[in-house]
Chains A and B, each alone.
Chain A
Amino acid sequence: MKLTPVDWLIMVLYFVFVLGIGFALKRYMKTSKDFFQAGRALPAWICGLAFISANLGAQEVIGMGASGAKYGLETAHFYGIGAIPAMIFVGIFMMPFYYGSKARSVPEFLRLRFDEKTRALNACSFAVMTVFSSGISMYAMARLIQTLHVFDGLFHAMGRPPEDIFTFSIVLSAIIVLGYIFLGGLTSAIYNEVLQFFLIIAGFLPLVLLGLRNVGGWGGLKATLPVAYMHQWKGVMHSSTNPMGIEIFGLAMGLGFVLGSGYWCTDFLVIQTAMASKDMDSARKVPLIAAVPKMLFPFLVILPGLLAIALPTPHTVETVTRNADGSIVHNIQVVSAQVEQGKGIVPAKINPVTGQPMFTASGQPLLDYDMATPNMLLHYFPTGILGLGLTALLASFMSGMAGNVTAFNTVFTYDLYQSYIHKGASDRHYLAVGRWATVGGILFSIGTAYAVVSFNNIMDTLQLVFSVVNAPLFATFLLGMFWKRATGHGAFTGLIAGTGVALLHHGLTLPIEDRTGIHGGWIGVLHHYPSEMAQNFWGAIFAFSANFLVTVVVSLCTKPRPESELVGLVHSLTPKPPHHHLAWWQRPETLGIAVLIGAIALNIFFA
């Protein structure tokens, strides 16, 4: 890829603004509340856009494009089922307890509602996982920069070997993210997430518009692709008749109820932005405001994948032209096997040892779907706007990293350091600890990124750990907020049981395309799933149910907390949030219903 000074100018401009915002905010960071909670003073729209932007990391932008290329429009279920209902639920029903309890983090809410050990369990696992996911994000970004040869020209000009690009990318992103969080804390992270949100739209909207124009609009795209690709709901009743290999019950319960809610309703990575808003009404509106662009994002992130598959695959062509003087000119445009074996502009995967395209057992080439979206950028963007597109891509990586880092420094400082290591110090001390926790978190992320390079299976292992730990979480919060009888002992044993069952389920089942090992079946194979996603969704359903049952049973056997202690933490004991000071159309409930209707309409339209 050839970048010209214009591309560099745009990229540098963005980095200057990102760091500039951090510097401008530094003077407002006086207390730990300013640093960790943005002073609880931000307007709802900013927090709302940061709420989805925190999730709009690399895994989202690259992964959804890849999934769109692989599974088609069915990918949009991750939005319609996996996100929107959960976002409405957390805004309307759960935010009053998060925000109203004055807890400073999600683990702290667990201590207020349950007990110390439940908080400790959640805080530890959460802190470890945020560092890991920020490291994975870093790794993915450095790999992408390598694959796209972004810095190759620069390195060549400086006379440095291209092997250093990986380290250079990691250090550069680490310094930038560290810089703006160290200076401006959560406010800085949120402001930059909003900036990244608009930048991602600025970079991807022209891509989708150009792509659609090229294939002849929506109708043209439909005509090029297989039928199942362009329908969200076709064949969803049975796992063998839809591209993802998952049937309606597993999809609705596993993705919508357990995994979607588990993420959007309990993950401090996103909840922290809502908890930073200025009052209760704003906090409740944050996830609902976020849901509006979330509904429309499939067009921005999934469609590039579909377009990449729909484009004609390049082949080696030989054109013969005869010059005016009679000489014959052979003009051969050579296309590598990697591209020729691909589909559309999605290349085939290359075996790193032989350098040849890889094939599945049935002789089909294995496609490198992660290249769908980046290749679209290279395919359509001339220099100039290409710089903007690449900046948007880099911004999305940093956005995901920054959200993880601020979530980590808050949980570490409040829930681990202040609670177990050094109690009762001055606020200044905790502010300083928070700043240094940011440095520590980023150093651990760098370590993770290098671990992913050195150990082949570490990425799969980490994904497995995430899914096993996160799957049962939602049951704990659901019971905690809506059942006053739930006790701390119940919640703690329930969480452990849920994680245990998730692990057991993984060890006993296997997706049909995989061998026993890291993908499952390491205890013994009792059941084969049609796809990895089906295994994942069903694992979540089992984990959730186990957590739910064990929490209920243990709670009934242990001593309940007096009701007076649970006011503001449990639904039935908390007075309804007053909102008669708002006109009906300003209320969170109205917005929630409007979002729900919009989501249903979109699903019917693309059914």
Chain B
Amino acid sequence: MTLDLRIPMGLMFTLVGIILVAFGIATKGNTELYARSLGINANLWWGLVLLIFGQAMFHLGRLGQKKMAKLPPEPVDESAPRRGH
């Protein structure tokens, strides 16, 4: 198995989330900046959503990797008859 995509993807969204949340906190109360997003601190809230999504992906990926490591290597022969059915 190659690289599990969920790990780099989780990392990226976590970082984007952190950047947006930090910027959102720093610009809190800046009504001029958030006038276009209807007074909502879009950076803070959407940053939080992305942060949670990124963390979920990252940990799912790690979990999957651990599971893969525990499993015995899969038989390569595809023509082998399936067992149990």
Seen from chain A, the residues whose Cβ lies within 8 Å of a Cβ on chain B are 6, 9-10, 13-14, 17, 20-21, 24-25, 28, 39, 41, 46, 187, 191, 194-195, 198, 202, 206, 210, 213-214, 379-385, 388, 580-581
Contact = CB atoms under 8 A, between A and B. Distances in A.
Contacts of B27: 382, 384
B2 A28 contact: yes
Contacts of B85: 580-581
A581 B1 CA distance: 23
Contact of B43 (A187, A195, A385): A385
Given A206-B46, A388-B20, A380 B37 contact: yes
Contacts of A28: 2-3
Given A13-B15, A46-B5, A210-B42, A384 B82 contact: no
Interface in B17-44: 19-20, 23-24, 27, 33-34, 36-38, 40, 42-43
A374 to B, nearest CB: 15
A14 B12 contact: yes
22 contacts: A6-B20, A6-B23, A14-B16, A17-B12, A20-B8, A21-B5, A21-B8, A24-B8, A191-B3, A191-B5, A194-B9, A195-B12, A202-B46, A202-B50, A210-B38, A210-B40, A380-B42, A381-B42, A385-B37, A388-B16, A388-B20, A388-B46
Given A198-B13, A385-B43, A25 B2 contact: yes
Contacts, number: 91
B44 to A, nearest CB: 9
Contacts of B33: 382-383
Nearest to B3: A24
A385 B8 contact: no
Interface size class of B (residues with CB under 8 A): 20 to 34
B43 A384 contact: yes
Please provide the 8 A-B residue pairs with the shortest distance between their CB atoms, ordered closest to farther. Answer: A384-B43, A17-B12, A384-B23, A28-B2, A385-B42, A6-B23, A382-B33, A206-B46
Nearest to B12: A17
Contact of B38 (A14, A39, A195, A214): A214
Contacts of A9: 19
B2 A41 contact: yes
A382 B42 contact: yes
B13 to A, nearest CB: 7
B9 A384 contact: no
Nearest to B46: A206
Contacts of B9: 194-195, 198
Given A13-B19, A380-B36, A39 B46 contact: no
Given A6-B19, A41-B1, A384-B23, A17 B43 contact: no
Nearest to B21: A384
A14 B9 CA distance: 10
Contact of B19 (A10, A46, A187, A381): A10
A581 B40 CA distance: 51
B42 A206 contact: yes
A516 to B, nearest CB: 46
Contacts of A210: 37-38, 40, 42
B19 A194 contact: no
A381 B20 contact: no
A191 B2 CA distance: 11
